[in-house]
Amino acid sequence: MALASGGALAAACAQAGALGLVGGGYGDLAWTQREYNLAASLLADDAHSLQRLGCGFITWKLDEDASALDWVLTQAQAPRALMLSFGDPRPYAPRIAAAGARLICQVQRLEQVPLAVEAGASVIVAQGGEAGGHGMNAQEGRGTFALVPEIADWLATHAPHTLLLAAGGIADGRGLAAALMLGADGVLVGSRLWATQESLAAAGAKAQATSTSGDGTARSQVFDILRRKNWPAPYDFRAIRNDLHRQWESRVPELQAQPEAARADYEAGVQAGDFSRAHATVGEAVGLIQDVPSAAEVIARMTQQARQLLN
Protein backbone atom coordinates (compact mmCIF):
# COMPACT_ATOMS: atom_id res chain seq x y z
CA MET A 1 0.00 0.00 0.00
CA ALA A 2 2.99 2.32 -0.42
CA LEU A 3 1.81 5.75 -1.64
CA ALA A 4 -1.84 4.56 -1.68
CA SER A 5 -2.58 4.26 2.03
CA GLY A 6 -2.09 7.86 3.05
CA GLY A 7 -3.25 9.71 6.11
CA ALA A 8 -6.92 9.90 5.11
CA LEU A 9 -7.24 6.15 4.51
CA ALA A 10 -5.30 5.19 7.64
CA ALA A 11 -7.42 7.52 9.75
CA ALA A 12 -10.66 6.26 8.21
CA CYS A 13 -9.70 2.65 8.98
CA ALA A 14 -8.80 3.56 12.56
CA GLN A 15 -12.11 5.38 13.04
CA ALA A 16 -13.94 2.33 11.69
CA GLY A 17 -12.38 0.11 14.36
CA ALA A 18 -9.54 -1.43 12.36
CA LEU A 19 -5.80 -0.81 12.51
CA GLY A 20 -5.00 1.93 10.00
CA LEU A 21 -1.50 1.77 8.54
CA VAL A 22 0.09 4.71 6.73
CA GLY A 23 1.89 3.17 3.75
CA GLY A 24 5.37 4.56 4.32
CA GLY A 25 6.66 1.98 1.87
CA TYR A 26 9.94 3.09 0.35
CA GLY A 27 10.72 5.37 3.26
CA ASP A 28 10.33 8.76 1.60
CA LEU A 29 10.69 11.10 4.57
CA ALA A 30 8.65 14.04 3.22
CA TRP A 31 5.77 11.79 2.13
CA THR A 32 5.73 9.93 5.45
CA GLN A 33 5.79 13.17 7.42
CA ARG A 34 2.93 14.68 5.42
CA GLU A 35 0.64 11.65 5.50
CA TYR A 36 1.33 10.54 9.06
CA ASN A 37 0.76 14.10 10.30
CA LEU A 38 -2.49 14.20 8.35
CA ALA A 39 -3.68 10.96 9.96
CA ALA A 40 -2.72 12.19 13.42
CA SER A 41 -4.52 15.49 12.87
CA LEU A 42 -7.67 13.76 11.64
CA LEU A 43 -7.68 11.61 14.77
CA ALA A 44 -6.56 14.33 17.20
CA ASP A 45 -9.95 14.55 18.93
CA ASP A 46 -10.52 10.78 18.98
CA ALA A 47 -8.14 9.21 21.50
CA HIS A 48 -9.48 5.68 21.01
CA SER A 49 -9.04 5.74 17.24
CA LEU A 50 -5.61 7.32 17.60
CA GLN A 51 -4.56 4.11 19.38
CA ARG A 52 -5.30 2.25 16.13
CA LEU A 53 -2.85 4.23 13.96
CA GLY A 54 0.31 2.63 12.64
CA CYS A 55 2.82 2.84 9.81
CA GLY A 56 4.53 0.37 7.50
CA PHE A 57 7.85 0.23 5.62
CA ILE A 58 9.70 -1.94 3.11
CA THR A 59 12.52 -3.40 5.16
CA TRP A 60 15.23 -3.59 2.50
CA LYS A 61 14.70 0.10 1.74
CA LEU A 62 15.26 0.92 5.40
CA ASP A 63 18.65 -0.72 5.01
CA GLU A 64 19.46 2.15 2.62
CA ASP A 65 17.80 4.98 4.58
CA ALA A 66 15.86 4.61 7.83
CA SER A 67 15.24 8.32 8.41
CA ALA A 68 11.46 8.02 7.91
CA LEU A 69 11.27 5.19 10.44
CA ASP A 70 13.32 7.16 12.95
CA TRP A 71 11.13 10.23 12.42
CA VAL A 72 7.81 8.45 12.93
CA LEU A 73 9.01 6.68 16.06
CA THR A 74 9.93 9.99 17.71
CA GLN A 75 6.57 11.70 17.20
CA ALA A 76 4.42 12.73 20.15
CA GLN A 77 1.73 10.51 18.66
CA ALA A 78 3.99 7.54 17.97
CA PRO A 79 2.48 4.70 15.94
CA ARG A 80 0.72 1.98 17.88
CA ALA A 81 2.20 -0.59 15.50
CA LEU A 82 5.00 -0.63 12.97
CA MET A 83 4.84 -3.11 10.08
CA LEU A 84 7.95 -4.35 8.26
CA SER A 85 7.91 -6.39 5.05
CA PHE A 86 10.51 -7.87 2.70
CA GLY A 87 13.73 -8.17 4.64
CA ASP A 88 15.30 -8.89 8.01
CA PRO A 89 13.38 -6.99 10.73
CA ARG A 90 15.89 -7.67 13.51
CA PRO A 91 18.07 -4.55 13.03
CA TYR A 92 15.01 -2.33 13.55
CA ALA A 93 13.20 -4.25 16.28
CA PRO A 94 14.99 -2.65 19.27
CA ARG A 95 14.19 0.93 18.25
CA ILE A 96 10.57 -0.02 17.49
CA ALA A 97 10.21 -1.64 20.91
CA ALA A 98 11.89 1.32 22.60
CA ALA A 99 9.25 3.62 21.09
CA GLY A 100 6.48 1.49 22.57
CA ALA A 101 5.17 0.29 19.20
CA ARG A 102 4.21 -3.29 18.44
CA LEU A 103 6.11 -4.96 15.61
CA ILE A 104 4.16 -6.54 12.75
CA CYS A 105 6.19 -8.72 10.37
CA GLN A 106 4.90 -9.88 6.99
CA VAL A 107 6.16 -13.23 5.70
CA GLN A 108 5.55 -15.28 2.56
CA ARG A 109 6.99 -18.64 3.66
CA LEU A 110 6.98 -20.72 6.83
CA GLU A 111 10.78 -20.59 7.00
CA GLN A 112 10.61 -16.81 7.58
CA VAL A 113 8.45 -17.08 10.69
CA PRO A 114 11.16 -18.01 13.25
CA LEU A 115 13.20 -14.95 12.29
CA ALA A 116 10.15 -12.70 12.77
CA VAL A 117 9.46 -14.25 16.16
CA GLU A 118 13.12 -13.79 17.08
CA ALA A 119 12.73 -10.11 16.21
CA GLY A 120 9.91 -9.88 18.74
CA ALA A 121 6.97 -9.59 16.36
CA SER A 122 3.64 -9.33 18.15
CA VAL A 123 1.85 -10.06 14.87
CA ILE A 124 2.77 -12.21 11.88
CA VAL A 125 1.13 -11.50 8.52
CA ALA A 126 1.01 -14.55 6.25
CA GLN A 127 0.93 -13.11 2.72
CA GLY A 128 -0.14 -15.47 -0.05
CA GLY A 129 0.85 -15.02 -3.66
CA GLU A 130 -2.67 -13.83 -4.52
CA ALA A 131 -1.84 -10.46 -2.99
CA GLY A 132 -1.53 -7.31 -5.06
CA GLY A 133 1.66 -5.31 -5.28
CA HIS A 134 4.87 -6.89 -4.05
CA GLY A 135 5.10 -10.45 -2.84
CA MET A 136 7.14 -13.55 -3.40
CA ASN A 137 7.43 -14.82 -6.97
CA ALA A 138 5.54 -17.82 -8.30
CA GLN A 139 8.44 -20.21 -7.81
CA GLU A 140 9.03 -19.35 -4.13
CA GLY A 141 5.63 -18.05 -3.02
CA ARG A 142 2.77 -19.85 -1.33
CA GLY A 143 -1.01 -19.67 -1.58
CA THR A 144 -2.91 -18.07 1.29
CA PHE A 145 -5.23 -21.05 1.87
CA ALA A 146 -2.40 -23.48 2.68
CA LEU A 147 0.10 -21.02 4.17
CA VAL A 148 -2.15 -19.63 6.90
CA PRO A 149 -3.01 -22.89 8.72
CA GLU A 150 0.57 -24.13 8.49
CA ILE A 151 1.86 -20.96 10.15
CA ALA A 152 -1.00 -21.10 12.66
CA ASP A 153 0.09 -24.60 13.69
CA TRP A 154 3.74 -23.50 14.00
CA LEU A 155 2.84 -20.50 16.14
CA ALA A 156 0.57 -22.60 18.38
CA THR A 157 3.57 -24.75 19.24
CA HIS A 158 6.43 -22.25 19.26
CA ALA A 159 4.96 -18.78 19.90
CA PRO A 160 1.36 -19.13 21.09
CA HIS A 161 1.00 -15.47 22.11
CA THR A 162 1.89 -14.18 18.64
CA LEU A 163 -1.12 -13.12 16.60
CA LEU A 164 -1.57 -14.21 12.99
CA LEU A 165 -3.18 -12.24 10.16
CA ALA A 166 -3.96 -13.63 6.71
CA ALA A 167 -3.26 -11.53 3.61
CA GLY A 168 -3.71 -12.09 -0.11
CA GLY A 169 -7.03 -12.53 -1.89
CA ILE A 170 -9.20 -11.29 0.99
CA ALA A 171 -11.72 -8.67 -0.06
CA ASP A 172 -15.02 -9.50 1.64
CA GLY A 173 -16.52 -11.15 4.71
CA ARG A 174 -16.20 -14.60 3.18
CA GLY A 175 -12.44 -14.19 3.08
CA LEU A 176 -12.37 -12.88 6.65
CA ALA A 177 -14.47 -15.79 7.90
CA ALA A 178 -12.36 -18.29 5.99
CA ALA A 179 -9.15 -16.85 7.43
CA LEU A 180 -10.50 -17.19 10.96
CA MET A 181 -11.50 -20.79 10.29
CA LEU A 182 -7.97 -21.48 9.00
CA GLY A 183 -6.50 -20.36 12.31
CA ALA A 184 -5.80 -16.66 11.74
CA ASP A 185 -6.75 -14.04 14.32
CA GLY A 186 -7.72 -11.54 11.63
CA VAL A 187 -6.80 -10.28 8.19
CA LEU A 188 -4.67 -7.62 6.54
CA VAL A 189 -6.63 -6.05 3.68
CA GLY A 190 -4.92 -4.37 0.75
CA SER A 191 -6.69 -4.37 -2.63
CA ARG A 192 -10.22 -3.85 -1.28
CA LEU A 193 -9.13 -0.80 0.75
CA TRP A 194 -6.98 0.43 -2.14
CA ALA A 195 -10.27 0.80 -4.06
CA THR A 196 -11.90 3.22 -1.62
CA GLN A 197 -12.67 6.91 -1.64
CA GLU A 198 -9.88 7.75 0.80
CA SER A 199 -7.15 5.84 -1.04
CA LEU A 200 -4.53 7.90 -2.87
CA ALA A 201 -4.62 5.53 -5.87
CA ALA A 202 -5.58 7.28 -9.11
CA ALA A 203 -9.28 7.42 -9.97
CA GLY A 204 -8.57 5.83 -13.36
CA ALA A 205 -6.80 2.92 -11.71
CA LYS A 206 -9.72 2.35 -9.35
CA ALA A 207 -12.15 2.48 -12.27
CA GLN A 208 -10.09 -0.09 -14.16
CA ALA A 209 -10.11 -2.37 -11.11
CA THR A 210 -13.92 -2.36 -10.86
CA SER A 211 -14.19 -3.76 -14.39
CA THR A 212 -11.41 -6.37 -14.10
CA SER A 213 -11.97 -9.99 -13.07
CA GLY A 214 -9.65 -12.08 -10.97
CA ASP A 215 -8.21 -13.47 -14.20
CA GLY A 216 -6.88 -10.04 -15.08
CA THR A 217 -3.76 -9.70 -12.92
CA ALA A 218 -0.23 -11.01 -13.34
CA ARG A 219 2.86 -11.25 -11.14
CA SER A 220 6.14 -10.29 -12.84
CA GLN A 221 9.08 -7.87 -12.83
CA VAL A 222 7.68 -5.75 -15.67
CA PHE A 223 6.34 -2.78 -13.72
CA ASP A 224 9.29 -2.76 -11.34
CA ILE A 225 11.61 -2.38 -14.33
CA LEU A 226 9.44 0.33 -15.86
CA ARG A 227 9.34 2.23 -12.54
CA ARG A 228 13.06 1.81 -11.81
CA LYS A 229 12.34 -0.17 -8.65
CA ASN A 230 15.30 -2.44 -8.02
CA TRP A 231 13.60 -5.11 -5.98
CA PRO A 232 15.72 -8.04 -4.81
CA ALA A 233 14.90 -11.65 -5.62
CA PRO A 234 12.65 -13.49 -4.91
CA TYR A 235 10.11 -10.66 -4.87
CA ASP A 236 8.08 -9.36 -7.78
CA PHE A 237 4.92 -7.35 -8.41
CA ARG A 238 1.25 -8.15 -9.07
CA ALA A 239 -0.90 -5.63 -10.93
CA ILE A 240 -3.55 -5.56 -13.64
CA ARG A 241 -2.22 -7.17 -16.79
CA ASN A 242 -2.71 -4.23 -19.13
CA ASP A 243 -1.60 -3.70 -22.75
CA LEU A 244 1.91 -2.53 -21.87
CA HIS A 245 2.45 -5.44 -19.50
CA ARG A 246 1.34 -7.94 -22.14
CA GLN A 247 3.75 -6.36 -24.61
CA TRP A 248 6.74 -7.11 -22.36
CA GLU A 249 5.80 -10.00 -20.08
CA SER A 250 7.41 -12.63 -22.36
CA ARG A 251 10.42 -10.38 -23.09
CA VAL A 252 11.65 -9.48 -19.61
CA PRO A 253 15.39 -9.98 -20.38
CA GLU A 254 15.03 -7.67 -23.38
CA LEU A 255 13.20 -5.11 -21.25
CA GLN A 256 15.94 -5.28 -18.62
CA ALA A 257 18.63 -4.76 -21.24
CA GLN A 258 16.96 -1.85 -23.06
CA PRO A 259 14.20 -0.32 -20.93
CA GLU A 260 14.35 3.31 -22.12
CA ALA A 261 11.60 3.29 -24.76
CA ALA A 262 9.23 1.22 -22.64
CA ARG A 263 9.84 3.47 -19.65
CA ALA A 264 9.01 6.52 -21.72
CA ASP A 265 5.78 4.84 -22.85
CA TYR A 266 4.90 3.93 -19.27
CA GLU A 267 5.66 7.42 -17.94
CA ALA A 268 3.56 9.00 -20.68
CA GLY A 269 0.71 6.71 -19.65
CA VAL A 270 1.03 7.82 -16.03
CA GLN A 271 0.96 11.49 -17.06
CA ALA A 272 -2.08 10.93 -19.26
CA GLY A 273 -3.93 8.73 -16.78
CA ASP A 274 -3.94 6.01 -19.42
CA PHE A 275 -4.12 2.69 -17.58
CA SER A 276 -3.53 0.65 -20.70
CA ARG A 277 0.08 1.74 -19.99
CA ALA A 278 0.16 2.93 -16.36
CA HIS A 279 -0.28 0.23 -13.72
CA ALA A 280 -3.11 -0.47 -11.26
CA THR A 281 -1.82 -2.28 -8.17
CA VAL A 282 -4.36 -4.92 -7.17
CA GLY A 283 -4.33 -8.63 -6.43
CA GLU A 284 -6.44 -11.57 -7.52
CA ALA A 285 -9.29 -10.34 -5.31
CA VAL A 286 -9.91 -7.56 -7.85
CA GLY A 287 -12.77 -9.66 -9.21
CA LEU A 288 -14.61 -9.03 -5.93
CA ILE A 289 -14.32 -5.25 -6.29
CA GLN A 290 -17.28 -3.68 -8.08
CA ASP A 291 -17.44 -0.24 -6.48
CA VAL A 292 -15.36 2.44 -4.74
CA PRO A 293 -17.05 3.12 -1.38
CA SER A 294 -15.65 4.65 1.79
CA ALA A 295 -13.22 2.63 3.88
CA ALA A 296 -15.73 2.58 6.73
CA GLU A 297 -18.33 0.99 4.46
CA VAL A 298 -15.88 -1.69 3.30
CA ILE A 299 -14.97 -2.59 6.89
CA ALA A 300 -18.62 -2.64 7.98
CA ARG A 301 -19.61 -4.88 5.05
CA MET A 302 -16.77 -7.32 5.67
CA THR A 303 -17.46 -7.50 9.40
CA GLN A 304 -21.20 -7.99 8.98
CA GLN A 305 -20.84 -10.68 6.31
CA ALA A 306 -18.22 -12.57 8.30
CA ARG A 307 -20.36 -12.52 11.44
CA GLN A 308 -23.36 -13.84 9.53
CA LEU A 309 -21.33 -16.69 8.08
CA LEU A 310 -19.62 -17.60 11.35
CA ASN A 311 -22.97 -17.61 13.19
Structural domains for the chain: 7-202+291-310 (3.20.20.70)
In the prediction, which pLDDT does 291 show? 98
In the prediction, which pLDDT does 254 show? 97
Rounded mean pLDDT, 51-73: 97
At residue 98, what is the residue type? A
For residue range 88-139, list pLDDT tens digits in order.
Answer: 999 999 999 999 999 999 999 999 999 999 999 999 999 999 999 999 999 9
In the prediction, which pLDDT does 269 show? 97
Query: In the structure, what pLDDT confidence band is assigned to residue 75 with cuts at 50, 70 and 90?
Result: very high
In the prediction, which pLDDT does 73 show? 97
In the prediction, which pLDDT does 12 show? 98
Give kind and range of the element (H or E) at residue 124: strand 123-127
Mean pLDDT of the chain: 97
Rounded mean pLDDT, 236-244: 97
Rounded mean pLDDT, 265-274: 97
Q: Which residues does residue 83 pair with via DSSP β-bridges, in sequence order? A: 56, 104
For residue range 187-210, list pLDDT tens digits in order.
Answer: 999 999 999 999 999 999 999 999
Residues near 104 by beta carbon (within 8 Å), at least 6 away in sequence: 54, 56, 81, 82, 83, 84, 121, 122, 123, 124, 125, 165
In the prediction, which pLDDT does 185 show? 98
Helical residues (DSSP H) of the chain, grouped into ranges? 7-15, 29-42, 47-50, 59-62, 67-73, 93-98, 113-118, 144-158, 173-181, 191-194, 203-210, 222-226, 243-248, 252-257, 260-272, 295-310
Rounded mean pLDDT, 49-66: 97
CA distance 8 to 295: 10
Strands 81-85 and 102-107 come out as parallel
In the prediction, which pLDDT does 307 show? 98
In the prediction, which pLDDT does 144 show? 97
For residue range 131-186, list pLDDT tens digits in order.
Answer: 999 999 999 999 999 999 999 999 999 999 999 999 999 999 999 999 999 999 99
